[in-house]
Structure 1
Amino acid sequence: MSAPNLLIDAAILTPLIAVLGVLAFSRMQNIREAVSILAGFALIAINLALYFSFNEGQELSRHWLEILPGLSLSFKVDAMGLVFSLVASLLWPVTTLYAIGYMRGHNEDNQTRFYACFAISLAAVMAIAYAENLFTLFVFYEVLSLCTYPLVTHAGTEKAKQGGRIYLGILMGTSIAFFLPAIIVTWLVSGTLDFRPGGIFPEQLSTGLLSLLLALYVFGVAKAAVMPFHRWLPAAMVAPTPVSALLHAVAVVKAGVFSLVKILVFIFGLETLQQIPATDYLLYLAGAGVVLASLVALRQDNLKARLAYSTVSQLGYITVGALLAVESGVVGSVMHIATHAVGKITLFFCAGAILVASHKSDISDMAGLGKQMPITMAAFFIASLSIIGLPPTAGTWSKWWLLTATLETEQLVLMAVLLLSSLLNIAYLLPIPLRAFFSGNGQQAGPVVIKEAPPAALLALCITAGACVLLFFFPNPLFELVSQIFTEGTR
């Protein structure tokens, strides 16, 4: 067994080893948090090593356990998985840094449990990213649901418990009712659950059954938040802001859209998707969700609630791109996984910073706040541009490819949907920093007192805001990796 193959084990086990360190030093918070950050950097190094080995043309795979003949826990490195694993691992230490400032500044209880569950969720994410087959992906998809439940209910209040019940109920319910039956039928008709270029379904399979399976997968992977199975996401906003960042950028929703795109590309295949009658119906349903979620976001005064519905809308972009069933759409979707991650995590970091520093959570109370928190609100402005898709920020490129895909497929209605949603993005995001900088009650007396979030939190949001700009000027490494999704069958 070659050393690069063992790196797959290391990617999954490193966060679990960090859990042991976090628990061992639970009463020594500086060491406990240093363990999390060091494990994050170790995970980045491991995934970069896998990335370089993959680019050199090496086949990287690991077999853990055979459950039944043809049904195993096994892993393989591919381009799509590398995008997801690199995004998650790069954001882990940054989120931990932010959590140090937030958790201490907000005097949160149960901080050891937070860091431990966070690390377990990263292990599940690595396993999902490198899953070689649908069975492995499903197992760790469920592990991710379970290990993030204590994070959602972190506050321990009745409201937090209610949010947790909705969170777990919808995610586990859709898995049992839709996702698992779809996997069983797929295995029965295909004889395999391995991810393969071009898909695995036999040519003679009826389009009616394929339509049913497609619907089961789209609704069963509820972490992708396709309406009407999206309510878990706003419900989970009762969690602390670092958890919201985990849900929206590092792990949960990205695991959902990653899983859905991988199923569409490597279980169905783009040619098969083009022939399934249900594809168009689900495509327009996802498009409707993009606009509806944006309209709901526009009505929210609570900042985290507005950002939550924004995430529902932005995830719809990724689903639409994959369901367009052309390479440019998949490129746009996978790139949007990365660009949305850095933009949305910055927005949530800013929301938490505002809460810690000024104790404000409603947008209507934030007029003039830019004078007290100029760095935070400047970062919010940059991240807003990225979510909208305007230069010079990262979201420009993923939305460019998604719009290209709508033109390529002559889906002009969906092109109009994406453009309308971007206008709505402007309407519900840009007024927040503009009001913070240029509005106020005019009653400020004396010099303005600068009161930013704790330094650790402030540094974290500056790093992610910087990444929004950096990915605009240097998108080629991301684009070249994503482009390899369609050349892996010829490697």
Structure 2
Amino acid sequence: MMPDDLILLALCIPLFTAAAIGLASPWPNIREGVTLVGSVLLFITVVALVPHILAGERPILALAEILPGLEISMTVEPLGMLFALVAATLWPINSLYSIGYMRTNNERKQTRFYIFFALALSSVMGIAFAGNLLTLFVFYEVLTLSTYPLVTHAGHQKARDAGRVYLGILISTSIGLLLPAVIWVWYVAGTTDFTAGGILAGHISGPLLTLLAALFIFGIGKAAVMPTHRWLPAAMVAPTPVSALLHAVAVVKAGVFSVVKVVAYIFGLELLQTAPGIEWLLYVACFTVVVASTIALQQDNLKKRLAYSTISQLSYVVMGALILAPLSLVGAALHIAVHAFGKITLFFAAGSIYTASHKTNISQLDGIGRRMPWTMGAFAVGAISMIALPPAAGFLSKWYLLMGASQQEQYIAMGVIILSTLLNAAYFVPIIYSAFLKPENPEHFVEHKESPLPMVVALTVTATATILLFLFPGLALELAKAVGVPVS
């Protein structure tokens, strides 16, 4: 099958899956079987694209022309391939987890849940394979709208309030900041096509260049750089599989992916290095890393601690892009992948704890590791990846970020990476210690065992993948090193 056919399939398979889920609504087993089959087919399709990209091909698929020279088109390059591969790998695992979670917790409107989950994955494929800024913007907005019903899934007032925050921040930043930035690029460059090395050299310089970069950094609200981060902890009201989707597979990864893509393929590292005062954007990312970690340290609710951890970890990617060194760009791209596997493991564990024991606070978890060894063992793996300790994959991306910061003599960024690593340890290690080494508190005693098998299998798989990604980083590293490099 030709690469452009595979691109079209990757966009359409989740759409067909969503339609089939709707048709299978009266039969839950068939509905969930359709979800699993669709997710596996997407995985196979995306994997089939990998050899073409590694061989240096950059397949293009034009979908529609809006204006002369301005079209909705797809192009697969290494960064998009890496993002699509992560999303396509995690969708079937998340689907398996969702079946156990949604059934055991008797969640309502499960058909709607699976439909919008599939629609979100179609949007992710569109973002990953976007050939220009216009296409990226369109699918970016579709992703926001398709995940809104997932955020508000519970239907109560708190969920509706969270949904308003979610839509309000993401729509206002994209329409108010990101869209003007896209139009500005088209106006000065005559194109919005993603091109290795950038397209803006010779078209914009000086303070205007810095201003344009700021519009992108804050306009891509899904990257959750402070102060555009509030939607993310608000969205924790959603069911845990949705939290896992938001934090590992789709929304936040779409944000930081877009930042790296714009830096590497619209600006280019060399041009941004000439922007006066560009360091202040780097320092905003550094600020977000440290402050979000500090807030995470104060949270007793497990999902909220993980949410603020995500905000911090996302800004590692933004920071890596804005250090403007080839090695830090590798670290930023790699962190998109390694954070996805580590963080989805942590959210899976949080949902497993809730399902088995209905505990949501860290202060209630003393001794729970003896009742739920698989869940808390997986949690420990995800935690050491966030801390960046071998043999978990988080070590790899932080190493490249440190090397890139050293390469550019960005000592503040180096200090932030080291300080935040200590903060990561401060808010994760006590959870592991309490779960395995503290006796159960009689006040929080609940008779329970592990969560249902599909959930345990899913979190075990993602925890194992987090370690395997450290031991065998070849494919992810090769794609990350090729980001922004012109094809010879």
Checking the alignment, whether the CA contact within 8 Å between 1:371 and 1:450 is kept in structure 2 is: no
* 1:72 has 2:55 as partner: no
1:179-218 → structure 2 map (5 Å cutoff): 179-203=178-202, 205-218=204-217
Checking the alignment, whether the CA contact within 8 Å between 1:293 and 1:310 is kept in structure 2 is: yes
- 1:204 deviates by 5.2
CA distance in 2, matches of 1:138, 1:51: 25
CA distance change for structure 1 residues 83 and 304 in 2, over 3 Å: closer, same or farther? Answer: same
| Residue equivalent to 1:376 | 375
CA distance in 2, matches of 1:443, 1:201: 63
- 1:381 deviates by 0.5
**TM-score, scaled relative to structure 2:** 0.98
* 1:163 has 2:162 as partner: yes
Match for 2:432: what amino acid?
P
CA distance change for structure 1 residues 357 and 401 in 2, over 3 Å: closer, same or farther? Answer: same
* 1:308 has 2:307 as partner: yes
| Residue equivalent to 1:456 | 454
CA distance in 1, matches of 2:16, 2:452: 28
SS at match of 1:275: coil
Match for 1:490: what amino acid?
V
- 1:224 deviates by 0.2
* 1:107 has 2:110 as partner: no
CA distance in 2, matches of 1:214, 1:441: 51
SS at match of 2:158: helix
| Residue equivalent to 1:138 | 137
**TM-score, scaled relative to structure 1:** 0.97
CA distance in 2, matches of 1:484, 1:397: 16
Q: Deviations over 1:297-317 (max 9, x none)?
A: 000000000000000000010
1:1-16 → structure 2 map (5 Å cutoff): 3-16=2-15
* 1:89 has 2:105 as partner: no
SS at match of 2:483: helix
* 1:226 has 2:222 as partner: no
Checking the alignment, whether the CA contact within 8 Å between 1:354 and 1:360 is kept in structure 2 is: yes
Q: Deviations over 1:456-485 (max 9, x none)?
A: 011000000001110111011111121122
* 1:466 has 2:472 as partner: no
1:413-428 → structure 2 map (5 Å cutoff): 413-428=412-427
Checking the alignment, whether the CA contact within 8 Å between 1:372 and 1:449 is kept in structure 2 is: no
| Residue equivalent to 2:476 | 478
SS at match of 1:317: helix
CA distance in 2, matches of 1:294, 1:54: 36
Runs of 4 or more consecutive aligned structure 1 residues displaced over 4 Å after TM superposition: 441-444
- 1:192 deviates by 0.4
- 1:41 deviates by 1.0
Checking the alignment, whether the CA contact within 8 Å between 2:264 and 2:484 is kept in structure 1 is: no
SS at match of 1:58: coil
SS at match of 1:200: coil
Checking the alignment, whether the CA contact within 8 Å between 2:119 and 2:146 is kept in structure 1 is: yes
Match for 1:483: what amino acid?
K
- 1:486 deviates by 4.0
- 1:247 deviates by 0.1
CA distance in 2, matches of 1:243, 1:278: 38
- 1:278 deviates by 3.5
Q: Deviations over 1:161-209 (max 9, x none)?
A: 0000000000000011100111111111110000111111142523111
* 1:243 has 2:242 as partner: yes
Checking the alignment, whether the CA contact within 8 Å between 1:131 and 1:137 is kept in structure 2 is: yes
Q: Deviations over 1:230-249 (max 9, x none)?
A: 00000000000000000000
- Number of residue pairs the alignment of both structures matches: 486
Percent sequence identity over aligned pairs = 53
* 1:120 has 2:113 as partner: no
Match for 1:471: what amino acid?
L
* 1:409 has 2:408 as partner: yes
SS at match of 1:413: helix
* 1:294 has 2:283 as partner: no
1:323-338 → structure 2 map (5 Å cutoff): 323-338=322-337
Checking the alignment, whether the CA contact within 8 Å between 1:215 and 1:278 is kept in structure 2 is: no
Q: Deviations over 1:229-285 (max 9, x none)?
A: 000000000000000000000100000000111001111100011111242000011
| Residue equivalent to 1:400 | 399
CA distance change for structure 1 residues 204 and 191 in 2, over 3 Å: closer, same or farther? Answer: closer
Greater mean alpha carbon deviation, residues 125-134 or residues 475-484: 475-484
* 1:50 has 2:49 as partner: yes
Match for 1:452: what amino acid?
E
CA distance in 2, matches of 1:278, 1:386: 33
Checking the alignment, whether the CA contact within 8 Å between 2:173 and 2:221 is kept in structure 1 is: yes
Match for 1:303: what amino acid?
L
Unaligned ranges ≥5, structure 1: none
Match for 2:148: what amino acid?
Y
| Residue equivalent to 2:347 | 348
Unaligned ranges ≥5, structure 2: none
Checking the alignment, whether the CA contact within 8 Å between 2:178 and 2:216 is kept in structure 1 is: yes
Checking the alignment, whether the CA contact within 8 Å between 1:329 and 1:405 is kept in structure 2 is: yes
CA distance in 2, matches of 1:233, 1:256: 12
Checking the alignment, whether the CA contact within 8 Å between 2:197 and 2:484 is kept in structure 1 is: no
CA distance change for structure 1 residues 217 and 278 in 2, over 3 Å: closer, same or farther? Answer: farther
Checking the alignment, whether the CA contact within 8 Å between 1:214 and 1:278 is kept in structure 2 is: no
